[in-house]
Amino acid sequence: MRGKATIKDSKDTLLNDFQSLVSDTENLLQSSASLAGDHAEELREHIRTTLNRARDSLHQAESALSTQSKVAVQATETYVQTHPWQSIGVAAAIGMLLGMLITRR
């Protein structure tokens, strides 16, 4: 359950960072014509910082998702190895359902 919370937190952080980046970029575009010098550079630096934060959040989310998928694969492999007949039964049932859905067309 902790993995799901971590991914949700990472997703929320990433979305907030991208929304902030878009907002900052829009502000830069709107005021770039009238800005010169230090204020424009300060705004650009803020956008760079937001972009770097968003990039870091993306890498963290990717890492969390990769870890969670490896755990899920390992759990599935363990289940299939310890319960081979049940796994075959489930696979057959899913195949039968898919076959029925396909032939209904």
What pLDDT, on a 0 to 100 scale, did the predictor assign at position 4? 61
54 within some domain: yes
Q: How confident is the model at residue 30 (pLDDT cuts 50, 70, 90)?
A: low
27 within some domain: yes
What pLDDT, on a 0 to 100 scale, did the predictor assign at position 34? 62
- Whole domain around residue 66: which residue ranges? 2-76
86 within some domain: no
96 within some domain: no
45 within some domain: yes
Domains: count for the chain? 1
Q: Each residue of 34-46: pLDDT tens digit?
A: 666 777 777 777 7
**Has residue 1 got a pLDDT over 60?**
no
Q: Each residue of 61-70: pLDDT tens digit?
A: 778 888 888 9
Collect all residues with Cβ–Cβ distance below 8 Å to 47 and sequence separation of at least 6. 21, 24, 25, 28
**Has residue 58 got a pLDDT over 80?**
no
19 within some domain: yes
84 within some domain: no
